[in-house]
Amino acid sequence: MRIGIAVVFMVSERNTKLLDLHLHHMKKNTENPSTIYACVNGLLPHLHARLERDPCVKICPCQAYGGGSALWPSGAADAVAPDAQSLASKSKYEHSWYLEQLIQAAVEDGVSHVAIFHVDSFPIRHGWDTQLIEKLSDRCLLAGITRDPQRDHKPLTAGILFPREFYLRYQPRLLLSQEEKDSEAYRRYTRACPHVTDSGFGYGFKLFTEGLSWYPLVKSNPPDIHALFASIYDDLLFHLHAAVFMERTQTVGHTRQLSQRRGLVGAGARVARALLPEWARQRLRRHAEAYCVKDDRQTWEQERSWFLEDPDGYLKYLRTGARA
């Protein structure tokens, strides 16, 4: 048994310690023989060299992101183009573009199982891989993080594991083409499994259409802790949300938190819609969103600093609610 771990290393200078923590926990907690299949396109030279020296890492030459490849389902490159101006959308497609190549490389190397992680996610318990493999069966062919079983019920690429045979037999893709999203099968999937259409929902769709199941890893943070941008799942995997996205922009792609804060001014917004002219409604909306984003950014930076300065204490807090 050998695990191929696919990771796209989108890491800025100030997140060097995040890369170190990721590698440390991956090696410390993975029980079976494993190789990290790494995409380093655009990585800083000294970080690239660090990964090259690591015997547990295999750097894969990846075709640069730009759309139009056999790696994408038919029509998927066309589906990307209209959204390419949006940074959030570009990050989603770019990250998936590289992951597809890493998964393919791991499968071609003959690994028994493929795992997918983000650079800001990693296992926190030894033997996580064995425990997840034990959850799989002839019909349950994947274990993965789900952010919200009710509203975002899909495998998230911050933590996924599946057997090689699943990939070879069913040829899943992380994203779907517009043609697939327009299909009746996808409408049935959406009704059965509400989800956000970011990377991983294509795997959920494939499992659904083939009549297969998967094991969802749900958030296990104690309910009384106040971390907004970090989660523990099944007391096995950690994810610091939005780390890569935050390095590329001054906003936070944390839609659930943003919508909760917008709700605080919901009554005022309803009054505005009724009484204000359109230009005034737009200005009010911009101010409200700017406030939410600024507040979220500050909170995210505070949590990131705590995590990087005292990772053991922060992880203990997420798992138990106890402060060191």
Per-residue pLDDT, averaged over 247-268, amounts to 41
Predicted confidence at residue 76, as pLDDT, reads: 40
CA-wise closest residue to 102 among 9, 15, 176, 236? 9
Alpha helix stretches (DSSP H) within 35-122: 45-53, 76-80, 87-108
**pLDDT tens by residue, 63-87:** 998 754 444 443 344 334 334 345 4
* More confident of the two residues 297 and 247: 297
Say what the pLDDT of residue 67 is: 55
Confidence band for 322, pLDDT divided at 50, 70 and 90: confident
Structure-token pair, residue 117: 């992680």
Q: Which fold has domain 3-217?
A: Spore Coat Polysaccharide Biosynthesis Protein SpsA; Chain A (3.90.550)
**Buried b or exposed e, range 76-112, using 16+ CB within 10 angstroms:** bbebbeeeeeeeeeebbbbbbbbbbbbbbbbbeeebe
pLDDT bin (cut points 50, 70, 90) of residue 179 is very high
CB 167 within 8 A of CB 173: no
> Quick one: what percent of the chain has pLDDT higher than 70?
74
Query: Which pair of tokens denotes residue 38?
Result: 């790494």
Predicted confidence (pLDDT) per residue in 184-227, tens digit:
999 999 999 999 999 999 999 999 999 999 999 999 988 877 66
For the whole model, what pTM was predicted? 0.80
Give the pLDDT confidence score for residue 321 in this predicted structure. Answer: 85
Percentage of residues of the chain with pLDDT beyond 90: 61
**Burial of 201 per CB tally in 10 Å (0-12, 13-18, 19+):** buried
Count of CB atoms situated within 10 Å of the CB of 46? 9
In the chain, where the domains are located: 3-217, 248-320
pLDDT of residue 298 exceeding 90, the answer is: no
**CB distance 233 to 131 below 8 Å:** no
> In this structure, what are the phi and psi dihedrals at residue 35, rounded to the nearest 5 degrees?
-135, 135
DSSP 38: E
Count CA atoms closer than 13 A to 211's CA, side-chain side: 0
Identify each DSSP E strand in 171-257 by its residue range: 213-217, 230-233, 237-240
pLDDT at 281: 47
